[in-house]
Chain A
Amino acid sequence: MIPTHWFLILSGILFTIGVMGVLTRKNGITIFMSIELMVNAVNLTFLAYARQFHDVHGVIFVFFIMAIAAAEAAVGLAIFISLFHHRNTIDVDEANLMHW
């Protein structure tokens, strides 16, 4: 049986890679995929602790996180489609409509 903290370290590494994507990329869709990567790292942490403490609530939380990530992906991608229709780009630096 694999120790729990190895899963936690893998999760930390994946979360860090996601943060790196959000901080250094300009393509909106790539930033969105980095966010999905961070969500998955958190899911892995939830499942690791659920197994460590024999608590099924962590697994149920992962279930809800997946549903919310699906909703987030649908709305976020619709926003990018709308942005692309208006500005003909999905570069996040160009999305400055609320900039004054």
Chain B
Amino acid sequence: MEFAIFFLFAAIAVIFALVVVLHRNPVVGALSLVASFFALAVMYVLLEAPFVAALQVIVYAGAIMVLFLFVIMLLNLKHVAEPPTRPVQQFLGYTACSAFGIGIVYFLLKYAAFETLPQGYFQADARTIGIRMFEAYVFPFEMVSILLLAAIVGALVLSGRIPGERARLDAEVGK
């Protein structure tokens, strides 16, 4: 039963990831990426990390992908079709990443295949994670909050919401 769920959702994750990469329309790509992230949340449940699975759905599928969809909507890309990739670039890209994929799967099967299953029950619920995080990772936690603040300010400046900032950036670019 567990194996059937694993294979079903692994197939869903891989197929929708391929749609993201191969489809020409970015809106279809973004929605496929949401589906792929939901399948990955099921993987996290199978890995006994239900808290991270909930975060995956709320933060990734909920917040980040909605941001992507809003940006696609704002840019209104309908009238500019994506130009086709150069054949040599396409050939080199597909060849290189096929080699990379075969290499990484071979390496994993050869060197990283664990004979033993993990013994006992691994607890990765919100309580355990919270206690460990505020024991050992208080400083990185605060750093991440400052990083998020910096990202908010940077995003506001870059998208030109501050009066005068846009003109200053344009002047610098034109210089």
Give the size of the chain B interface in residues (CB under 8 angstroms): 86
Q: In the complex, how many angstroms separate the beta carbon of B156 from the nearest chain A beta carbon?
A: 8
Q: In the complex, how many angstroms separate the beta carbon of A90 from the nearest chain B beta carbon?
A: 6
Residue of A nearest to B77 (CB): A90
Chain A interface mostly helix, strand, loop or mixed?
Answer: helix
The reply to whether B60 and A66 form a contact with Cβ atoms under 8 Å apart is yes
> Using Cβ atoms and an 8 Å threshold, which residues of chain B touch A79?
158
Tell me which residues from 92 to 116 in chain B have a Cβ below 8 Å from any Cβ of chain A.
92-94, 96-98, 100-101, 104-105, 108-109, 112-114
Given contacts A6-B6, A50-B49, A56-B129, contact A74 B29 (CB under 8 A): no
Complex Cα gap A62–B55 (Å): 10
Complex Cα gap A9–B37 (Å): 17
**Contacting residue for A86 out of B29, B118, B156, B173, CB 8 A:** B173
The reply to whether A23 and B18 form a contact with Cβ atoms under 8 Å apart is no
Tell me which residues from 47 to 85 in chain B have a Cβ below 8 Å from any Cβ of chain A.
47-49, 51-52, 55-56, 59-60, 63-64, 67-68, 71-72, 74-75, 77, 80, 82-83, 85
Does B167 count as interface, using CB distance less than 8 angstroms? no
Interface string of A56-91 (1 = CB under 8 A from B): 110110111011111111110111111011101111
Given contacts A69-B64, A73-B67, A74-B151, contact A51 B48 (CB under 8 A): yes
Given contacts A57-B132, A75-B155, contact A51 B160 (CB under 8 A): no
Give the size of the chain A interface in residues (CB under 8 angstroms): 74
The reply to whether A20 and B97 form a contact with Cβ atoms under 8 Å apart is yes
**Contacting residue for B2 out of A2, A29, A71, A88, CB 8 A:** A2
Interface string of A26-39 (1 = CB under 8 A from B): 11011011101100
> Using Cβ atoms and an 8 Å threshold, which residues of chain A touch B47?
7, 44, 47-48, 50-51
The reply to whether B101 and A21 form a contact with Cβ atoms under 8 Å apart is no
> Using Cβ atoms and an 8 Å threshold, which residues of chain A touch B151?
70-72, 74-75
Apart from A51-B47, A59-B49, A82-B160, list 12 A-B contacts with CB within 8 A: A8-B108, A10-B13, A20-B97, A33-B26, A33-B33, A36-B60, A43-B56, A51-B118, A54-B120, A69-B60, A78-B159, A88-B80
The 9 lowest CB-CB distance pairs between A and B, nearest first, are A16-B101, A23-B93, A71-B151, A78-B158, A24-B93, A21-B21, A78-B155, A12-B104, A20-B97
List chain A positions with a Cβ less than 8 A from chain B.
1-10, 12-21, 23-27, 29-30, 32-34, 36-37, 40, 43-44, 47-48, 50-54, 56-57, 59-60, 62-64, 66-75, 77-82, 84-86, 88-91, 93, 97
